[in-house]
Amino acid sequence: MVQLLTPDGERVPHPDYELDPTPGELRGLYRDMVLARAADGEGVTLQRQGELALWPSLLGQEAAQIGSARALRDDDHVFPSYRDHGVALCRGLDPLHVFRLFRGVTHGGWDPADHNFHLYTLVIGSQVLHATGYAMGVAAEDAGTAVAVYFGDGATSQGDVSEAFNFAAVYNAPIVFFCQNNQWAISAGNERQSRVPLFRRSAGFGFPGVRVDGNDVLACLAVTRAALARARSGAGPMLIEAFTYRMGAHTTADDASRYRDPVEVEEWRGKDPIARLGLHLRTTGLADDEFFARTDREGADLAADLRASVRGMPDPGLADAFGRTYGSEHPLVAEELAWFREYSASFVAAEEG
């Protein structure tokens, strides 16, 4: 497993993946992770207060998302899953787009071309095929860019992922498969999902795979950067298994205490990705107390802004809910809208009668 920063905050070399970040870049990675955790924590809180319908937390996976996302170029394309809020922040997406989706006041749409960040996908694994097809198109146009697709360990049990691996290999697509192995597919642990480490699956399809410490933001940055450069060079796809841990529940609809050992959770809290880089910054003198306090304030301000904005979101009109399914009016949707209006009016008539 590739590791460049130990849980004790000590830098260690790796023969295949070198990284020499500046102090400013290290502080930037720390700040990114703190902001991602702040936004994510606000999502959990707002759902518990009834302001959101659901929230899939990224808690514990900040290093995997921030490290890999900061390896991307602006002209690369990203296909996320549904808990990749840290990647969204790094791509410059307004986080309110994500909050609108989970509040249920939009269908979750944003223009993917604005940040080369495609739509969240809640259907497990399907975005892996979408990304592979997009990468094949990128290669056909000789665009010189790469595609990164994010998915979890649970998605690897879906046939879609195996199909995508095969197409990507056969067509030498410029794609990086970034699997965040948080070790739990809802309540199914790794041992019930695969007999071999996930990164080894790619060998059967004819392309390389590597396991990286998913709580080490530097290792995730270095490995993803190399994989993207490889893809852009025409050498084909690569699988990265970021070995991490979901410290929270699968979503706010889940109670992880029913199937996880609390000892295991505490063990992984000791490998917290933010604390790890923070310890390195402190022990090397690359950041002082003022930096950490300022970063914490930024996170608190972001959370407060999100809270106020979410609570102020207007409810969508009925025409919006039905009218944004297709690009132009569709007769079946129009029929369903007419039926729903008639149905809703029946309650008013009953109350008046």
Which amino acids are annotated catalytic? Answer: 246, 250, 259
Cα pseudo-dihedral 250, 251, 254, 260, rounded to 10:
20
Which SS3 state, helix, strand or coil, does residue 194 take? coil
- DSSP letter assigned to residue 111: -
* Alpha carbons 288 and 298: distance in angstroms, whole number: 16
Q: Give the H/E segment covering residue 131.
A: helix 126-140
Quick one: three-class SS letters along 278-344? HHHHHHCCCCCHHHHHHHHHHHHHHHHHHHHHHHCCCCCCHHHHHHCCCCCCCHHHHHHHHHHHHHH
Residue 350: phi and psi, rounded to 5, are: -65, -40
DSSP 34-97: HHHHHHHHHHHHHHHTTSSS-----TT-HHHHHHHHTTS-TTSEEE--SS-HHHHHHTT--HHH
Which SS3 state, helix, strand or coil, does residue 125 take? coil
The answer to whether the beta carbons of residues 276 and 22 sit under 8 Å apart is: no
* Alpha carbons 80 and 258: distance in angstroms, whole number: 28
Place of tokens 């739990």: 184
* Alpha carbons 51 and 258: distance in angstroms, whole number: 25
DSSP 215-272: T-HHHHHHHHHHHHHHHHTT---EEEEEE----S-SSTT--GGGTS-HHHHHHHHTT-
Which SS3 state, helix, strand or coil, does residue 104 take? coil
Q: Is 293 exposed, middle or buried (0-12, 13-18, 19+ CB in 10 A)?
A: exposed
